[in-house]
Amino acid sequence: MPLSRLFPLGLAALMGCAAPAALAQETVRSRAADFRIVEVAGDLEHPWGLAFLPDGRMLVTERPGRLRIVGADGSLSAPLKGMPEIYDSGQGGLLDVILDPDFAANSTIYFSYSTPVERRGTTRIAKAKLTDTGLEDVTVLFTAKTKGSNGRHFGSRLVFGTDGYLYASIGDHGADDTAQDLSLHSGKIIRITKDGAPAPGNPFLDTAGALPEIYTYGNRNPQGMTLTPDGEIWANEHGPRGGDEVNAIKAGLNFGWPETTHGRAYSGLPMGEGPEKEGVTPPIQVYVPSIAPSGMAFYQGDAFKGWQGDLFMGALALTHLNRLDMKNGEIVGEERLLEDKGWRIRDVRTGPDGFLYLLTDAEDGKLVRLEPAK
């Protein structure tokens, strides 16, 4: 269905929802840009992923298993129909959502979620057609083969690369050693086609005993992933007690978990063999203590000239918006914004309007945007 025919009446009329009565605004100063905070929508239960529809509306996932559409005026739809069964436990639930690169022609979206398998949850990826009543033709593309415990470390960000393939981050599901085991998907980043097949050219297609979808391994719990301005894949991941990382994702790399880490066990005892090891790719950025990074985006809009090309990440533990100042593809500084808010920022996206959008992870989570201060 062409996008122009999606929700022809507008969401407020279609869903019987009214736009928020008012938007909360305030001005914040930063090193490179002054901005104001605009609350777009509230009453979201643990929102996790955000995607922009070409008509100005937005898709938002809520971790308990609901997919909603937020109107440009802030109106919130009823939960869309057609979602599959969701394993809502611990860190699991409905996770990321992205549009097909050809969404305007095929109305297809992709989403990740935890699903119940053998009394526990694992990460699954599906696609579906978005219609004015919900989801149709839901097709499961991938189910992660894991051995993890309940409710922990699902990943799970989705990104289409410039090669047209779908990249997905899969956490170690709480079973550390599986991140080095190529016969399991846990602790990996995978690359698949739009139909769920292993992407041609994947690095372990000809490796005996290795799963063909694997693209990188040794990743603990990558909860942020995005394209750089040059079209490369970057991801962040949670360390244990300290040692969060930002990594440049390239075919076949081993990022070391749990053999190498800059952090320690939660008990405070050392972990692994140290921060470095031959054959392990070092991180681009390390956080000690942990900030618990989540959704991430390189800013490429026109609204904030001082932020052009900078990397923004949500921080769940040391609640703030993390800005990495980038120059010629390298990190030259760091700034921590919105520390006074106490927000667990779950996702960060550059909107098509050039503003920066954030999701806050709470029972009464919000969708907010950052605009230049007037």
Extract the tokens encoding 272. 């692994």
DSSP 264: B
Beta strands across the sheet bearing 66-70: 47-52, 58-62, 66-70
Three-class SS state of 213: coil
155 alpha-carbon distance from chain centroid: 8
**Host H or E run for residue 352:** none
Among 72, 179, 81, 169, smallest CA distance to 125 is for: 169
CB atoms within 10 A of CB 58: 21
Extract the tokens encoding 299. 């800013």
Extract the tokens encoding 326. 């980038």
**Host H or E run for residue 215:** strand 214-217
Residue written as tokens 């239960």? Answer: 45
**Which residues are catalytic, by number?**
153
Residues 287/243, Cβ–Cβ less than 8 Å: yes
Among 359, 362, 361, 370, smallest CA distance to 60 is for: 359
Phi, psi (rounded to 5 degrees) for 15: -100, -5
Extract the tokens encoding 200. 């041609």
